[in-house]
Structure 1
Amino acid sequence: MSGTALEPTSDQILAQVISSLEDDKAEDIVTIDLRGRSSIADYMVICSGRSSRQVGAIAEKLTERLKEKYGRLCKIEGKDQGDWVLIDSADVIVHVFRPEVREFYQLEKMWMPSGGTI
């Protein structure tokens, strides 16, 4: 990536994340706006894959696409287990779960505005 390229906005990263997740058939995609609520990122995206294999593939393709399009190197954790993969692109944090694991942790309830104080 050349030094003259503009750094992508968090909204551009989010759009690419959503597009990638949809392309790979992620299910129940939820976007949570964290701006003004947390310093960890501007957005959190939570989705599900039907199997451990699909969860890993969704995460892998997402990191490849962000690197290819924006030169963005993401931190990724949990890909080998495939139950819950965390992708940190700095502006957007993505959680890809198997449905049972997502139900167990109920991350959306913790972060949604109607969930009480944060």
Structure 2
Amino acid sequence: MLSQIDTAATAAPATPKPTAAYDSAALLDLVLQSLDDDKAEDIVTIDLRGRTAMADTMVIASGRSSRKVSSMAQKLLDRLKERFRLTARAEGKDIGDWVLVDTGDVVVHIFRPEVREFYQLEKMWLEPEGSDRPAR
């Protein structure tokens, strides 16, 4: 009598995917690529190093609708988890007017255009004209 062998149970366990090492620059690259892939508009990158301890870089972008803003934020969170095994914090995803994604080194603000215009974060964080420290 032949017995049936469950090959899935006896096969060697799959080796886990190695976690990619990351730093501030790698996080920023992934954030910018994710936003670009999802057709974010008016992407602005602001270098915060030496100005605040909260993060190295702030990224501000727009999406045309609440659904688009929420979707871009969720895809960014998914990509961060997949690539770096990083669970970033997010605020505002349910409403979608303004979503904040905090990766630690990079803080991302995704707005609907009207909300972005109202809060004007760029004006608060960008260096004034003639400064020797330009935004990236």
Q: Normalising by structure 1, report the TM-score.
A: 0.92
Indicate the RMSD between aligned Cα atoms, in angstroms. Answer: 1.7
Equivalence for 2:64: 50
Deviations 1:66-91 (A, max 9, x none): 11000111000000110000000001
Alignment of 1:78 with 2:92, yes or no, is: yes
Identity between Structure 1 and Structure 2 (%): 60
| Aligned equivalents of 1:54, 1:99: Cα separation in 2 | 12
Runs of 4 or more, structure 1, over 6 Å off, are none
Which secondary structure does the structure 2 equivalent of 1:60 belong to? helix
Deviations 1:28-66 (A, max 9, x none): 000000011110000000000000000000000000001
Equivalence for 1:14: 28
Which residue of 56, 59, 62 corresponds with 2:73? 59
| Aligned equivalents of 1:27, 1:38: Cα separation in 2 | 26
Aligned-pair distance for 1:7? 3.9
Alpha-carbon distance change, 6 to 23 in structure 1, aligned in 2, over 3 angstroms: closer
Alignment of 1:105 with 2:126, yes or no, is: no
Aligned-partner residue type, residue 102 of structure 2: D
- Higher Cα Rg, which structure: 2
Q: Normalising by structure 2, report the TM-score.
A: 0.80
Aligned-partner residue type, residue 26 of structure 2: Q
| Aligned equivalents of 2:126, 2:74: Cα separation in 1 | 26
Aligned-partner residue type, residue 58 of structure 1: M
Aligned-partner residue type, residue 93 of structure 1: V
| Aligned equivalents of 1:45, 1:32: Cα separation in 2 | 6
Structure 2 spans left out of the alignment, 5+ residues: 1-15, 132-136
Which secondary structure does the structure 2 equivalent of 1:114 belong to? coil
